[in-house]
Amino acid sequence: MTVEKFEKVLLLGSGALKIGEAGEFDYSGSQCLKALEEEGIYAIVVNPNIATLQTDPPRHGRVYFQPLTPDFVEPILEAERPEGVLLSFGGQTALNCGVQLADRGAFRRAKTRVLGTPLAGIRGTEDRAKFMELMRRAKVPVLPARAVYSLEEAREVAKEIGYPAMVRVAYTLGGKGGGVAWDPEHLEEVVGRGLRISPVGQVLLERYVGEFKQIEYEVVRDRLGTSITVCNMENLLGMRVHTGDNVVIAPSQTLSDAEYQLLRRAALRAADVCGIVGECNIQFALDPASEEYFAIEINARLSRSSALASKATGYPLAYVAAKLALGYTLSELKNRVTGVTSACFEPALDYVVVKLPRWDLQKFAHSDTALGPSMKSVGEVMGIGANFPEALSKAVRMSDPRSDLVPPPTPRPLEEVLPDLLPIRPEFLTTLLEALRAGADPADLARRTWIDRWFVDELAELERIHRAFGALEGGELPSTLLRKAKEFGLSDRAIGRAARVDEEEVRRRRLEAGIRPRMRMIDTLAGEWPARTNYLYVTYRADADDVTRVPAGSVLVLGAGPYRIGSSVEFDWSTMNLVDGLKAEGVPTVALLNSNPETVSTDYDRSDRLYFEEITLERVRDLVEFEHFRGVVTCVGSQLAQNLTPLLAACGIPVLGTAPASINTAEDRSQFGALLERLELPQPAWRAFTTPDAAESFASEVGYPVLVRPSYVLSGAAMRVIAGRQDLARFLSEAARLSPEYPVVISKFIEGADEVELDGVSDGKRVLVAGILEHVERAGIHSGDAIFCLPPRHTPAAVQADLRRAAERLARELQIRGPFNIQFLVKSGAFQIIELNLRASRSLPFLAKATGVPLLREAARAMLGRPLSREGIAPLPPHRWGVKVPQFSFLQVSGSDPLLGVEMQSTGEVACFGPTFADALVKALLATGVKLAEPGGTVLLSVGGLELKEALLPTARWLAELGFVLAGTEDTAAFLGARGVRGVQVLHKVSEPDRHPNVLEALDRGEVALILNVPSSLTQEKFERMLEDEYTIRRRAVELGLPLFTSLESFAAYVEGIAWLTNHPITVEPLYGTPEPGGKVRAAPRSVPLRGRRRR
Amino acid sequence: MLEDGTRFDGAGIGAEGRRVGEVVFTTGMVGYPESLTDPSYRGQILVFSYPLLGNYGIPDISARDEWGLPTYFEAPGAQVRGMVARGITRPNHWGSRQSLESWLAVETVPGVVGIDTRRLTQHLRSKGVLRGVICASPPGEEAPSTADLRRTLKRAPTYAKEKFLPEVAPKKATLYRAGRGPLVAVPDCGVKASILRALLSRGLSVLRLPPEAEIPERWEGRRVAGLLVGNGPGDPATLSGPIAALEQARNSSLPTLGICLGLQLLALSRGARTYKLKYGHRGQNKTVLFDDGRALIASENHGYAVDRRSLARTGLKPWATNPDDGTLEAAKDARGLVLAFQGHPEGHPGPQEAGFLFDRFAEKVRRRSP
């Protein structure tokens, strides 16, 4: 077969991580780049996601940190003139951008071809009417559904279909905005919201089939029409819950061959009729009591499910899809796992895979935790085992290492448990086990929850085994029961608790009885062919290891586990950069442990040995005992890995990098405070407390507000700024309950201070400062939620030098060997240290990319005891500004409050670069979907407290000058009027709907273009009603997709960006790249006259 | 226990007893009722590499389709000598009538579970197919000694020496009518019910014949318009009776479809050679690469293959290949009158993309039929 030779191809990424579109696209994009690199193709990557691996300096190509919108991608097409463009590796974002580019003729003008599935096929899967027509041609049944454009239409159609009816929103992610309309009243709410959200003002109504099984197939098809299904997957919670929030099992467990093949054939026909070239995912609803089925939807692109399927089977879907898009046929490609067999085959599994979502709904105030058709999880893990309970138990511990898949210690009576089964909530597995412990009949549970009885029976078996330990005499641990328990995935800890035996004792007795997990390979062919890769998991249902021990001197790197609020793709970046660094430094084998199927690090050929396993003490010890690693790296896998440091050290396992004692000093507030005192480095007044009384007297002494937090912190969990005495008392009872082992720390909260971070790498002597980052918002907003910029805008050079000296003193004092991050407060030319993290931080990828210095390569040297190859400050190229902007997913989490604070809530981030702060900021804002308000539009200002109102004045005047119409809630409007800002319109309170013009009216009529809403949480003006009003405004802003700011400084920066746009075009330039082949010079910089274009 | 002395201990299920057979593995993840009743597994102990079995139970064993063929099975009863699995689970499925365990007991098939079937699969892959003895002892009874098992193995005949034809082949002809549809003769060496159903559901009537019988020109007043040679157990080279019958039938130039053993018998009847594969192809994920670059996934169950070089001067040409080990996957004659496929286009279990062969065959038969 002849394959057309491409020289230059453009790849669209997926932008910031958000609910419904997360790290899986860094994985698919990275695999795609690997395929392009093999072909010698010059790859242009467009993706503003700073934390991804696919945007690292390329070996052969260029990277643009730009918004994934047609306005920005078209100039890149014009400048670069790639021969082909790949749209299916960047999720819905890339696909939508591609469709829009095609619609405006951009590909035609740039003479660029869409590679892979043709646009007609993509449109056919995206447009419901076309989809139904295609499925009719493929003889694949679909649910009777109708597209509606208005509420009246919806009522008519719902009458025909009957209630409950399913509402879906066209062209959105992760079921965003969709829902079940149980009755006409519900319909109004769900359809109303859907119509507001849909970019094409369209929602779909269809029959609700919540009780059906939800089965998915991943189909790969080449240009000749050869197609295979790589995996099928079954959703434990059926059609009732979005697949992103579902527990997914691969392969399906409850389907007969007849059903498996019925759906498989339908999947192949559907892919065929859509003309897929590459990969697609198809979802089916299958009646649990017959062979009736419907195709629900097709994703004509790589997806979360395809990433999962790749990891579940070892079949590199994205890599193969990229090769097929370039013109290869399936049979021309090799199976990369065996290296000898064809890629045209269907993987055979000899294990079971269970994907469990990770929800962080407790981080969102006011959020609704019921699971349904709209996705709410922020990450996922994948457990692998030889049976369902083993795989699921692992997944539960992967999702949270502190938890186990066991009933709660003191189960309630059955009649109290049963009502908690529905609606399904994130803790439903524990609820099911609790019900079983309380004597529930599995058949009854299956009937109530619509979970297939097979799964309930498996859980019941696990519950029986667990119960048997409780019936034992104290200290007894029969080895048959122990073995059975391990085969069902119970941890030593869970067994110990159930049998009232110390965990360590369980481990000792277990090893004595010769019960240890076996290392097993995922080889795609169930042992039929020898495999070359080292993609491994462990299981107790085996009696031999597939691999032998690694060579002496090898290292194990712990990954970061599931993506969650506060730990996301940036730690996968750190993990992989360190793995590469260690390899470059000559470590014989770098093994990796991680549990998250969305990551690049769990791509089996990125490390020498990949353990797809739980990141728990028990498992790490198992691996170390088997492999005899020289050391374990815990400083790149976020707080999850870092938390294991003291435990590993206590077991005598060497930890590479900074000594565990130093880490303890940095993490233990008392020790750290004492250290700073000794070094005479300033810090806010603080003290640790174990009693509320002492805490209150301290707070009164230093003066409110105070910052309250526990010692071991993960992304601000349980941390809060407290304004007054009453709040402190209330919060302390909660925080104390949250973390009994550690005292609560209270520190003076300094108002009006700037927050500045310093990242660096040290070898204990030398220090390389990666950069100093300044937050746009004042201290009080979690650094993960803050906008920050490089270089600092306000921090004086003298202060910057002070910060650097402080960092150097700490690095030498603590003998830091590896990456570190220090957070400072800066006010009136003086700094205070608030935190030191002896691990890779969230901001490290941003700094590495902005400066071009391979920071983790240096860290690898330090960790191996070698000196850094450079010190000082990593230089920032002249005329370069970098701005990082967080991405929020408030819309997906219904009810959540978009108010920012010390608790992190963002799900992702972007960074853009430019010659000025405003230029970079505007791009970064656009890249997170923040709209730019047009002069002439109305700005709603609502600011609590006199001090804040005062601070708003200059920005308000600036807005008026720019031609915006100002509006305010009563107090704010009155204040502005009194201070001479003219023409400020008054909008009456939400709680006074009879007074017009009213805030909500104005919002719903689309009369407001921009909102500033800064509540007075730090003052004593706490009227419940008022807070409720403010919340309503913020929530409505989210649902309407309006730009909303809850801090004055970020709002002022936004206005600065808007002002910049009035007389400057926005630059479109790659951040870096390699020389283009054929001696072509670098593409000329382009710019976008955003103003003109957007008025189109 | 395998003939090389390797022993795997687990828990017995199904029938009690001891059986000797050739130990083979399948990598299929669904379709155990179909596999366990596939006559091609006669004389074999079937190992499932997929670790969970019995999830959807066993469907109604008495159900028959409109032609009187078993609806859910490939033959009326279990065909394997024994079954080996990593684990079995409690079944739940709308079609399930009993558990795998209880059905195996009814069918007097011993099974062993709790065995590391991956290790066993790897062993068979590297050593090649081995004979073995499976022993399910009654509860409480001590497991038999290795020496005892070795004696049992020694006494039993080898796979190649065993005669399966009398066990699986019909003694007399049976006619299945698909309305007035043209008639296809099927010399039956152990053909799966799904193959017959694939013909009947395409409107072809089926004349199921003892495999050594001459292919008649007419039957009950109807002309025989096509010939299908299906699957079955045993070493194809030893099946001299059926081979002779096919040699004779060649003169009639009937549209012919060979499936699995059928491909091998057709080739042998034209002078080609077959050989035994190291560990066979058994699974639902096998690649069949046609000579035009297209490929499909097929369900397979064969321990022998046709030596592709020996096809010269047989009138058959290689048509498709397994890209992994180069074995012959399909052959046809120059006119396309004879189509032969090493896999199972009817699936059950497994993919049915090769079902187009039935369509092509049916078309030719129809054209032939008056």
Mean pLDDT of A584-605: 96
Q: Helix (H, G, I), strand (E, B), or coil: what is residue A494?
A: helix
Q: Do A528 and B49 touch (CB under 8 A)?
A: yes
- Tell me the percentage of chain A whose pLDDT exceeds 90: 75
Residue A593: HSE in the Cβ half-sphere, 13 Å Cα cutoff: 27
Q: Is the pLDDT of residue A1091 over 70?
A: no
Mean pLDDT of A964-984: 92
Q: Is the pLDDT of residue A735 over 60?
A: no
- For residue A346, give the nearest of B87, B294, B297 by CB distance: B297
Give pLDDT, residue A1095.
Answer: 35
Mean pLDDT of A723-743: 69
d(CA A4, CA A222): 14
pLDDT averaged over every residue in chain A = 92
Place A289 in a pLDDT band, splitting at 50, 70 and 90. very high
Mean pLDDT of A442-458: 97
Q: What is the pLDDT of residues B230-259, one digit of tens each?
A: 999 999 999 999 999 999 999 889 999 999
ipTM above 0.95, yes or no: yes
- Tell me the percentage of chain A whose pLDDT exceeds 70: 95
A-B C-beta contacts closer than 8 Å = 163
Residues of A in contact with B90 (CB under 8 A): 454, 457-458, 461
Q: Is the pLDDT of residue A474 over 90?
A: no
Give pLDDT, residue A718.
Answer: 64
**Amino acid type, A121:** G
A39 and A918 Cβ atoms separated by less than 8 Å: no
Mean pLDDT of A139-152: 90
Tell me whether B291 touches chain A (CB under 8 Å).
Answer: no
Q: Is the pLDDT of residue A1093 over 60?
A: no
d(CA A94, CA A66): 12
Q: Is the pLDDT of residue B88 over 50?
A: yes
Q: Which one is catalytic: B260, B281, B329, B348?
A: B260
A135 and A295 Cβ atoms separated by less than 8 Å: yes
Q: Do B125 and A542 touch (CB under 8 A)?
A: no
Q: What is the pLDDT of residues A705-717, one digit of tens each?
A: 898 875 554 444 5
Place A3 in a pLDDT band, splitting at 50, 70 and 90. low
Q: Is the pLDDT of residue A1016 over 80?
A: no
d(CA B137, CA B140): 8
Q: Do B49 and A330 touch (CB under 8 A)?
A: no
A477 and A506 Cβ atoms separated by less than 8 Å: yes
Nearest of B362, B369, B349 to residue B40 by alpha carbon: B349
Q: Helix (H, G, I), strand (E, B), or coil: what is residue A154?
A: helix
Q: Is the pLDDT of residue A1021 over 60?
A: no
B324 and A335 Cβ atoms separated by less than 8 Å: no
Place A989 in a pLDDT band, splitting at 50, 70 and 90. confident
d(CA A350, CA A287): 27
Mean pLDDT of A1040-1053: 95
Residue B107's alpha-carbon distances to B42, B60, B77, B103, in angstroms, are 14, 14, 7, 6
Contacts of A654 (CB under 8 A, 6+ apart): A630, A631, A632
Q: Is the pLDDT of residue A410 over 70?
A: yes
Q: Got the DSSP string for A804-841?
A: HHHHHHHHHHTT-EEEEEEEEEEETTEEEEEEEESS--
- For residue B30, give the nearest of A256, A530, A544 by CB distance: A256
Shortest distance, CA A393 to any CA of chain B (angstroms): 17
Q: What is the pLDDT of residues A511-544, one digit of tens each?
A: 999 999 999 999 999 999 888 889 999 999 999 9
Give pLDDT, residue A1096.
Answer: 30
Q: Is the pLDDT of residue A164 over 60?
A: yes
Q: Helix (H, G, I), strand (E, B), or coil: what is residue A968?
A: strand
Residue A266: both structure tokens together? 């339908």
Mean pLDDT of A1077-1089: 64
Q: What is the pLDDT of residues A776-795, one digit of tens each?
A: 999 989 999 999 999 999 99
Nearest of B206, B179, B185, B230 to residue B39 by alpha carbon: B230
Q: Do A261 and B289 touch (CB under 8 A)?
A: no
- For residue A527, give the nearest of B59, B125, B287 by CB distance: B125
Residue B279: both structure tokens together? 């560990």
**What are the structural domains, with CATH classification, of chain B?**
11-155 (3.50.30.20), 165-368 (3.40.50.880)
Mean pLDDT of A162-167: 90
- Pick A433 or A5 by higher pLDDT: A433
Q: Is the pLDDT of residue A631 over 60?
A: yes
Nearest of A998, A1032, A985 to residue A1013 by alpha carbon: A1032
Q: Is the pLDDT of residue A260 over 90?
A: yes
Q: Is the pLDDT of residue B320 over 50?
A: yes
Q: What is the pLDDT of residues A26-59, one digit of tens each?
A: 999 999 999 999 999 999 999 999 999 999 999 9
Q: What is the pLDDT of residues A195-241, one digit of tens each?
A: 877 777 888 898 999 999 999 999 999 999 999 999 899 999 999 99
Residue A849: HSE in the Cβ half-sphere, 13 Å Cα cutoff: 35
- For residue A543, give the nearest of B119, B286, B347 by CB distance: B119
- Pick A877 or A716 by higher pLDDT: A877
Shortest distance, CA A115 to any CA of chain B (angstroms): 20
Q: Is the pLDDT of residue A970 over 90?
A: no
Q: Do B324 and A529 touch (CB under 8 A)?
A: yes
Give bridge partners of residue A166 from the DSSP assignment: A180, A206
B72 and B60 Cβ atoms separated by less than 8 Å: yes
Mean pLDDT of A856-866: 97
Q: Do A346 and B91 touch (CB under 8 A)?
A: no
Give pLDDT, residue A946.
Answer: 87
Give pLDDT, residue A1092.
Answer: 44
Place A740 in a pLDDT band, splitting at 50, 70 and 90. low
Give pLDDT, residue A175.
Answer: 60
Residues of B in contact with A541 (CB under 8 A): 51, 86-87, 116
Give the CA angle between residues A309, A231, A332 to the nearest 5°: 90
Which of B88, B297, B322, B329 to probe the A interface (max A CBs under 10 A)?
A: B297
Q: Is the pLDDT of residue A497 over 90?
A: yes
Is position B346 annotated as part of the catalytic site? Answer: yes
Taking the CA atoms of residue A820, residue A821, residue A827 and residue A829 in that order, the dihedral angle to the nearest 10 degrees is 40
Give pLDDT, residue A476.
Answer: 87
Give pLDDT, residue A715.
Answer: 40
**What are the structural domains, with CATH classification, of chain A?**
8-117+1073-1091 (3.40.50.20), 144-208 (3.30.1490.20), 403-516 (1.10.1030.10), 519-656 (3.40.50.20), 685-710+721-748 (3.30.1490.20), 754-926 (3.30.470.20), 933-1042 (3.40.50.1380)
- What angle, 0 to 180 degrees and rounded to 10, lies between the N-to-C axes of helices A184-197 and A151-161? 130
The CB density around residue A584, as the number of other CB atoms within 10 Å, is 12
A residues 620-679 closer than 8 Å to B (CB)? none
Shortest distance, CA B246 to any CA of chain A (angstroms): 33
Give pLDDT, residue A957.
Answer: 96
Place A340 in a pLDDT band, splitting at 50, 70 and 90. confident
Is position B344 annotated as part of the catalytic site? Answer: yes
d(CA A835, CA A782): 12
Is position B281 annotated as part of the catalytic site? Answer: no
Mean pLDDT of A802-821: 97
Give pLDDT, residue A198.
Answer: 76
Nearest of A698, A708, A718, A713 to residue A745 by alpha carbon: A708
A residues 233-262 closer than 8 Å to B (CB)? 251-258, 260-261
Mean pLDDT of B183-201: 97
Q: Is the pLDDT of residue A1025 over 70?
A: no
Residue A673's alpha-carbon distances to A329, A643, A745, A749, in angstroms, are 63, 20, 11, 16
Q: Is the pLDDT of residue B112 over 70?
A: yes
Tell me whether A480 touches chain B (CB under 8 Å).
Answer: no
Mean pLDDT of A1070-1079: 85
Q: Helix (H, G, I), strand (E, B), or coil: what is residue A596?
A: coil
Place A336 in a pLDDT band, splitting at 50, 70 and 90. confident
Beta strands A767-778 and A872-873, pairing class? parallel
Place A165 in a pLDDT band, splitting at 50, 70 and 90. very high
Place A903 in a pLDDT band, splitting at 50, 70 and 90. confident
Mean pLDDT of B4-23: 94
Burial class (CB in 10 A: 0-12, 13-18, 19+), A913: buried
Residues of A in contact with B38 (CB under 8 A): none
Q: Is the pLDDT of residue A678 over 50?
A: yes
d(CA B152, CA B143): 14
Burial class (CB in 10 A: 0-12, 13-18, 19+), A1001: middle
Place A79 in a pLDDT band, splitting at 50, 70 and 90. very high
Q: Helix (H, G, I), strand (E, B), or coil: what is residue A845?
A: helix
Place A1023 in a pLDDT band, splitting at 50, 70 and 90. low
Q: For tokens 């010079």, what's the residue?
A: A1081
Helix ranges (DSSP H) in chain B:
32-36, 100-106, 117-127, 146-155, 165-168, 193-200, 240-249, 261-269, 356-368
Backbone dihedral angles phi then psi of residue B216, each to the nearest 5 degrees? -75, 155
Q: Is the pLDDT of residue A173 over 70?
A: no
Q: For tokens 């109303």, what's the residue?
A: A192
Place B272 in a pLDDT band, splitting at 50, 70 and 90. very high
Nearest of A1045, A771, A777, A754 to residue A882 by alpha carbon: A771
Q: Helix (H, G, I), strand (E, B), or coil: what is residue B24?
A: strand
Query: How many residues are there in chain B?
Result: 370
Give the CA angle between residues B71, B72, B75 to the nearest 5°: 85
